[in-house]
Amino acid sequence: MNIMQDLRTSLGNVLDLGGPVVAILLLVSVLTLALILYKLWQFQAAGVGRHRALSAAIDAWDAGERQKAKKHLAQSTSYLAPVIDHAISQADTGNALVSQRLDAEAEARFARLESGFKVLDVVAQLAPLLGLFGTVLGMIEAFRTLQDAGSAVDPSLLAGGIWVALLTTAAGLAVAMPSALVLSWFEGRMHRERVFAERGLRTILAPTTATRDAQVHAA
């Protein structure tokens, strides 16, 4: 109980020193953390990065082992499995628009996983600016206090005002840096997902065995 009271007291002191800017940054940090946790859960539920069975299905299809490919595909829990399944069902139709349709379906799934990335990007860019804004306001207040002191200038007044003002910049950076790092990690994961999907779809639509057979017939 004492720990909670100490925490509330410390939080109240920080808010009193930093003012409304720190309060806004604190609220933004809580919402950002909630968004990051949701995205981690979403990635886990979708099976992002877990494509072992799907990769085995693609490799089997590329080797001409169609039944084995379908068996591996049935075992996959990846969010890309329906797209690959659609690609397999349309592989022999010869429709030139199939590739574009499959790309669009994959992009629709990527878009759902990437929802919220813009929010993290905005937080990473605006949180330092918001902190700097609070610092400017704090500096203005510090110099106004110094002016009001008149001839009885106490250097501690200015020093105290400056460190309080810089508190908002520190708070802004503390919110922005983790957001930028997490966003970079999310974007890296999605880039790898796109590379995997691109390779998989192209392999299904133009497997090595079909290319080799076409070359033999042409010869």
Does 205 score more than 80 pLDDT?
yes
- Residue 208: pLDDT band (50, 70, 90) is confident
- pLDDT for res 168: 85
Does 12 score more than 70 pLDDT?
no
- pLDDT tens sequence across 123-140: 999 999 998 888 887 777
Place of tokens 């109240």: 12
- pLDDT for res 111: 94
Who has greater pLDDT, 7 or 75?
Answer: 75
Place of tokens 């969010």: 79
Burial track 113-151 (b if 16+ CB lie within 10 A, e otherwise): beebeebbeebbeebbebbbbbbeebbeebeeeeeeeee
Reference 25, options 178, 168, 182, 177; nearest CA is: 168
- pLDDT tens sequence across 16-52: 566 778 888 888 999 999 999 999 999 999 989 889 9
- Residue 194: pLDDT band (50, 70, 90) is very high
Mean pLDDT of the chain, nearest integer = 82
- pLDDT for res 3: 61
Contact (CB, 8 A) for 190 and 110: yes
What's the half-sphere exposure (Cβ side, CA atoms, 13 Å) at 28?
Answer: 26
Contact (CB, 8 A) for 29 and 175: yes
**Cα 197 off chain centre by:** 19
The span from the CA of 189 to the CA of 181, in Å, is 13
pTM reported for the whole predicted model:
0.80
DSSP 151: T
- Residue 57: pLDDT band (50, 70, 90) is very high
Which phi and psi angles does 33 have, rounded to 5°?
Answer: -60, -40
- pLDDT for res 89: 87
- Sign for the CA dihedral angle at 89, 94, 95, 98 comes to positive
The span from the CA of 184 to the CA of 176, in Å, is 12
- pLDDT tens sequence across 70-128: 999 999 889 999 999 988 888 777 666 888 889 999 999 999 999 999 999 999 999 99
